[in-house]
């Protein structure tokens, strides 16, 4: 990225003899650094992993892992903004003072500490009162499922899901194929179709960012057994794509990162494709030793909320952005 803010940030870090490095690929240094940021978290927030950071967060931004004197964080440097991605602090009050010094140098009056868990917000609350700050709800309801419950599917509440499993999975009506360079365009076509028939209901259109994420993660998945990027086929017709992974720092947790399935035959899909894909993911997680799954925010779109609540979440997590100003 050839932007003034990024090079000015790098100059500041060098002039202040701070240790920093690019965060753009999951090498050992990046994985260790990101893992250390979240080692004290009791429950993994959806964005707290290097898969999200080096793909979604990296879209149209440069990322730097930085060791300040009083803590560490990832800096996300866009063309006109700089954000601090959930730092770990020896002393949060002193670390925020270091952040503010950087903002003053860059002539930025406002920035964000992003993707902060409720657990960490409570720890920081007293120190934050000494600064000009505000707290913004980022995710009100990240849903967590129990894997065993969704593999066993006992009881009347799961009758429709059992029927979908019997009809589409047990009879092998759906096929799941790894995304690779040869079929990447099919994945992109799914994104376009999904946005045409379902994405219009959402506030933000994110097709360019989603395609970037799919390209990055499908390439990484070739060498990473914890990460799965797959196309969903019915009768040799592509009807969806799924991305999911065993959490890289908590092996008893999994994450459903992306599910885009076409469920109406009139749109070129098959009824139940989304539910069946979820059930496939739960089975894979169970076989990998995963006990709990984070499926991201319920959001405000009614259909998505109803769909996720059908899986009977056992916990809801929250995350926040903290706005800090000079």
Single out the residue of 304, 210, 208, 219 nearest to residue 25, CA to CA: 219
Determine, yes or no, domain membership for 326: no
pLDDT at 202 over 80: no
Which pLDDT band, with edges at 50, 70 and 90, does 192 fall under?
very high
Percent pLDDT > 90 in the chain is 89
Considering only 81-85, 101-105, 234-238, 301-305, which range has the smallest mean pLDDT? 301-305
User: Measured between alpha carbons, how far is 293 from 305 in angstroms, rounded to an integer?
Assistant: 16
Q: Are 243 and 229 in contact (CB under 8 A)?
A: yes
Q: Does residue 137 fall inside a structural domain?
A: no
Q: Indicate whether 324 pLDDT > 90.
A: yes
Alpha carbon 196 to chain centroid distance? 23
Inter-residue contact 146 to 294 (CB < 8 Å): no
Please give the DSSP secondary-structure letter assigned to residue 79.
S
Looking at the structure, tell me whether residues 13 and 116 fall in a common domain: yes
Classify 298 as helix, strand or coil.
Answer: coil
Residue 295: HSE in the Cβ half-sphere, 13 Å Cα cutoff: 27
pTM, two decimal places: 0.95
Rounded percentage of the chain residues whose pLDDT exceeds 70:
98
Mean pLDDT confidence for 29-47: 95
Mark whether 148 and 236 lie in a shared domain. Answer: yes
The 10s digit of each residue's pLDDT in 134-155 is 999 998 899 999 999 999 999 9
Residues found in the chain:
326
Specify the range with the lowest mean pLDDT, choosing from 1-10, 90-99, 137-146, 303-312.
1-10
Residue 165: the pLDDT is: 95
Collapsing DSSP states into helix, strand and coil, what is residue 237?
A: strand
The CATH number that applies at residue 21 is 3.40.630.30
Domain ranges, residue 304: 142-317
* Number of domains observed in the structure of the chain: 2
Q: Are residues 112 and 155 in the same domain?
A: no
Each residue's pLDDT tens digit, 164-173? 999 999 888 8
Whether 234 and 274 share a structural domain: yes
């Amino acid at each position: 990225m050839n932007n003034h803010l990024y090079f000015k940030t790098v100059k500041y870090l060098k002039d202040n003899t701070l240790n920093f490095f690019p965060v753009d690929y999951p090498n050992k240094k990046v994985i260790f650094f990101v893992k250390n940021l979240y080692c004290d978290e009791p429950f993994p927030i959806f964005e707290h992993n290097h898969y999200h950071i080096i793909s979604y967060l990296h879209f149209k931004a440069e990322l730097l892992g930085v060791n300040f004197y009083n803590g560490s964080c990832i800096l996300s440097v866009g063309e006109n903004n700089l954000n601090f991605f959930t730092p770990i602090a020896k002393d949060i009050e002193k670390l925020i003072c270091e952040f503010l010094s950087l903002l003053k140098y860059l002539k930025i009056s406002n920035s964000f500490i992003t993707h902060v868990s409720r657990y960490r917000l409570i720890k920081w609350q007293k120190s934050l009162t000494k600064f000009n700050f505000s707290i913004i709800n980022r995710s009100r309801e990240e849903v967590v499922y129990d894997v065993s419950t969704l593999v066993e599917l006992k009881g009347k509440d799961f009758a429709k899901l059992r029927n979908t499993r019997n009809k589409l999975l047990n009879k092998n009506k759906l096929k799941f194929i790894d995304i690779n360079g040869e079929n990447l365009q099919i994945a992109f076509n799914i994104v376009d179709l999904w946005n045409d028939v379902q994405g219009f209901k959402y506030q933000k259109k994110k097709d360019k960012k989603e395609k970037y994420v799919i390209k990055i993660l499908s390439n990484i998945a070739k060498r990473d057994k914890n990460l799965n990027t797959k196309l969903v086929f019915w009768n040799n017709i592509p009807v969806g794509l799924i991305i999911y992974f065993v959490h890289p720092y908590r092996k008893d947790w999994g994450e459903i990162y992306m599910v885009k399935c076409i469920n109406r035959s009139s749109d070129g899909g098959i009824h139940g494709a989304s539910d069946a894909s979820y059930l496939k993911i739960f089975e894979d997680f169970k076989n990998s030793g995963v006990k709990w799954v984070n499926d991201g925010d319920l959001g405000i779109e009614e259909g998505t909320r109803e769909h996720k609540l059908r899986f009977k979440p056992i916990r809801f997590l929250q995350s926040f952005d903290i706005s800090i100003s000079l």
